[in-house]
Amino acid sequence: MDFLSLFSLIVLITTLVFFVAVFLFLKNLKLKRDIKIKEIKVEERSKEMDSKMYELAILKELGDRVGYSLDVHQIMDVITGSLHQFINYSAVSYMLLESDKILFKIHLEKSVHRGFINEVRDRMLKSLGALLDKEFKENQVEELISGAILIEEVNAPVESFFNIPLVIGGKVVGVLTVADTQNGLYKENEMTILYKITNQASSAVTKLQEVVTNEKSKLNAMVLSMSDGIVMTDLDYKILVINPAARRALSLDPMKEVTLFDFIDNLGGKFDIRGRLEESVKLKKEYTSERILLGEKFFQIFVLPVKSSSVMGQESITGGVVIFHDVTSEVEVETLRKDFTSMLVHELRSPLDGVKKISEVLKNKKITQTPESYDEYIDLIYRNSSGMLEIVNDILDVAKIEAGKFDIHKKEGDFIKIINDRVNFYSITAQSSNITLKSFFGKDIPEKVMFDSEGVEHILNNLISNALKYTNKEGLVEVITFLHKEGASLPEEAKIAGYQSVNSIPLDLGQGTFITVIVTDNGIGIEEENIKTIFSKFKQLDTKNKVPKKNGTGLGLVIAKGIIEEHGGSIGVVSKIGVGSTFYFTIPLS
Amino acid sequence: MKKILIIDDDEVFVKTLQDFLPKEKYETVHAKDGVEGLGIIDKDRPNLIILDLLMPRMGGMEFLDDLREKKLEKEIPILISSQLSKIEDISKAIVAGMDIGVKGYIIKASENLDMIVSEIEKTLEKYSA
């Protein structure tokens, strides 16, 4: 190779190397720049994420703190207290609409002059007015300033201003503002955060309000429908809650607004509601009254303090509640029971006293007795003692029936004979009152029937003697016995056997085949309200009417029912005043 | 001879009282209820009435009302008699009849016949005309 070619080659290679070096260098540069850009981006991203996380954390905390309170002031204070973590400002402030004024609270991060505050206030007032389409005056505003002190020399005006409305439950309740002396501070970022926070607060409060309203209406519905009367008052004895039952108990108008005075008036001094409420509220006392008669009903009245626990867990008395508990039925039962007992006592005491007085006479040597008089006394002793024994036995039987320990002894016997026996026994009594006593028998009554003859005798004695007692002279008492076949019509069968009264026998007295006995009369009849209790030991005692008091314990029918039920049969009565009564009972054939 | 009218449907009480009252001093007449009692007063005025409260047809309270209507010139002393042991129930009748002669009461079950008789005698002594 010659020198020239070698030189050219070297130059070429060197140039090539040079270009490659430059190329590589440039590439490196670009790479470095790209990396830098990426690094910056990553850093930015990471910062953004940090900030977002921080934001979320703060929002969550705000949400937590705000979500349990309906006190808008508290909420606003919480918000304004934590805003400085996101946003720069000289002052953060809020305006809230109250019923009679506008609350303006402004917190200064940095010192400003009076004019700054005034401007913030005026701008907020204007925006509030615009939102609500109203005009608000300066004198409606109540101002509260906190934070850094006012320094008149720091007279920088408002350069940055951002304002957000507060909406709760769909209504504008106020505005939230941040303001600064520096220009251009509130850009998209800051605005977004403010929107987020206030939205969070709004929806939390709105949701809470909904929950409260729901719970309130549930509670309302419950209180409204309660059968006990409820009245709740606050510490000033103003009525907060009153349900229909309370209005009814005190005979108050169902619609009109009532005050405690209406209660005091209608209680008529029977109960010191004001005094008891005061004791309840001031001394935390619970009170239970005796039975008090209001109108036609008896009530037991309870007065209790209303305690409420605040968020801090402290208990405070917020008012009192008065409950009117209707005890009328309990009183009625007790009265019936008392009347029943005193009736029994009376029924026993009379004959007992009679026997005692007879002994007094017979003991007295000074009184001479004729044989007739003597015989009469012996007879009276016998009758009165028998009467008492009967009463005592009846009481025992009823006690056994109630305890479920009443036994009957069924034996095979002649049913028709028992009926005839009893009718004959009472024929003398019937004759003496000029009452016709007849008996009728249907066909196919079995010769032998399983039944408790003593029990059935007892029932017949009771029904026939009652019929005779409650039927006037020239009246008619009939005893009709027949066999009821399964599926047949009872009224028809009764008619065929001889039953003629207008009182209609029930169609259905049970399944199967059974013997039916009807004791019917054309006497004075039984009042409808008395029919309901006629087979019970507690009867409506007839003290108001002038109807003559027919003595007796009235337990006979209770025992009759017990006997029939042990047989598996049924017993009942149909009656009409002035027409007569028809008693019936059934004995099933086993 | 004093005439005592017993208005009561309790035959044992009436008979034993009649036997216990000395026959030399007292003549007793018996009425089963208020209606009969009023009839007897019209015919032959008694010196004392023993009046039961619980009777069929016309009880003691109604009898007192009807007696008031009669507007007797001179009142007849009356003793209320009853099996009721509660003073409140008897006092109602006493208060109701004070203006027409009710002077006291007898509780049948708590008092012996001699106690009853001495009370009758006291009343007759005090209020007889």
Rounded to 10°, the helix A371-403/A328-363 angle is 150
Displacement of CA A160 from its chain's centroid (Å) = 59
User: Chain B contact for A226, CB < 8 A?
Assistant: no
With beta carbons under 8 A apart, name residues in chain A contacting B16. Answer: 354, 357-358, 360-361
Identify the bridge partners of residue A180 per DSSP, sorted by sequence position.
Answer: A160
For B10, the closest of A350, A358, A367 (CB atoms) is A350
User: Chain A contact for B115, CB < 8 A?
Assistant: no
Smallest CA-to-CA distance from A126 within A136, A117, A141 is with A136
Question: Strand (E) positions, A265-368?
Answer: 287-294, 297-309, 315-326
H helix intervals, A404-509:
415-432, 453-469, 490-497
- Write out the two tokens for A110: 């940095």
The domain ranges of chain A are 1-67, 70-212, 228-326, 343-400, 411-588
Half-sphere exposure of A349 (CA within 13 A, CB side): 15
> How is the beta sheet containing A514-521 ordered, strand by strand?
A436-441, A476-484, A514-521, A580-588, A571-576
Write down the pLDDT at residue A541.
53
Write down the pLDDT at residue A371.
87
Write down the pLDDT at residue A52.
76
How much of chain A is helix, strand and coil, in % rounded to 5?
50, 20, 30
**Preferred mutation among B6, B12, B18, B112 to probe A, highest tally of A CBs within 10 A:** B12
Of residues B54 and B86, the one with the higher pLDDT is B54
CA B64, CA B53: separation in Å to the nearest integer?
10
**Preferred mutation among B19, B85, B89 to probe A, highest tally of A CBs within 10 A:** B19
Which CATH topology does A70-212 take?
A: Beta-Lactamase (3.30.450)
- Write out the two tokens for A36: 């830098």
For A548, the closest of B12, B56, B114 (CB atoms) is B56
CA A230, CA A228: separation in Å to the nearest integer?
6
A222 SS3 class: helix
Q: Which DSSP category does A485 fall into?
A: P
End-to-end CA distance of chain B: 13
Q: Which CATH superfamily is domain A411-588 in?
A: Histidine kinase-like ATPase, C-terminal domain (3.30.565.10)
**Is there a contact between B16 and A354 if contact means CB atoms under 8 Å apart?**
yes
pLDDT in tens, A135-190: 888 888 899 998 888 888 888 888 889 999 988 888 888 899 999 988 888 888 88
Which CATH topology does A343-400 take?
A: Helix Hairpins (1.10.287)
* ipTM (interface predicted TM): 0.91
Smallest CA-to-CA distance from A73 within A31, A34, A103 is with A103
User: Chain B contact for A409, CB < 8 A?
Assistant: no
Question: Over chain A (590 residues), what is each successive 10-residue block's mean pLDDT?
Answer: 86 92 91 90 83 72 66 81 82 88 90 90 91 86 89 87 87 90 85 84 83 86 90 91 92 90 91 92 90 91 87 80 93 85 85 93 84 91 93 91 90 94 94 92 91 94 93 92 90 88 85 93 89 81 44 84 94 92 92
Contact A471, A477 (CB under 8 A): yes
Domain B2-127 has CATH 3.40.710.10: no
**Preferred mutation among A338, A339, A346, A357 to probe B, highest tally of B CBs within 10 A:** A357
Tell the residue number behind the tokens 């008392």, with chain if given. A338
- Phi, psi dihedrals of residue B109, rounded to the nearest 5°: -70, -25
pLDDT in tens, B73-85: 888 999 999 887 6
Which CATH topology does A228-326 take?
A: Beta-Lactamase (3.30.450)
With beta carbons under 8 A apart, name residues in chain B contacting A373. Answer: 19
Contact A534, A557 (CB under 8 A): yes
Number of H helices, E strands in chain A: 14, 17
Q: Which DSSP category does B50 fall into?
A: E
**Is there a contact between A380 and B11 if contact means CB atoms under 8 Å apart?**
yes
For A349, the closest of B56, B109, B112 (CB atoms) is B109
- Write out the two tokens for A170: 């769909």
Residue A376 burial by CB count (10 A; 0-12/13-18/19+): exposed, middle or buried?
A: middle
Write down the pLDDT at residue A332.
85
Identify the bridge partners of residue A451 per DSSP, sorted by sequence position.
Answer: A411
Write down the pLDDT at residue A426.
95
* A411-588 and A70-212 share a CATH fold: no
Residue A469 burial by CB count (10 A; 0-12/13-18/19+): exposed, middle or buried?
A: middle
What's the length of chain A? 590
Contact A56, A148 (CB under 8 A): no
Question: If you measure CA to CA, which chain B residue comes closest to A549?
Answer: B56
H helix intervals, A226-272:
244-249, 260-267
Smallest CA-to-CA distance from A92 within A161, A143, A19, A156 is with A161
Write down the pLDDT at residue A134.
85
CA A589, CA B118: separation in Å to the nearest integer?
64
Write down the pLDDT at residue A1.
62
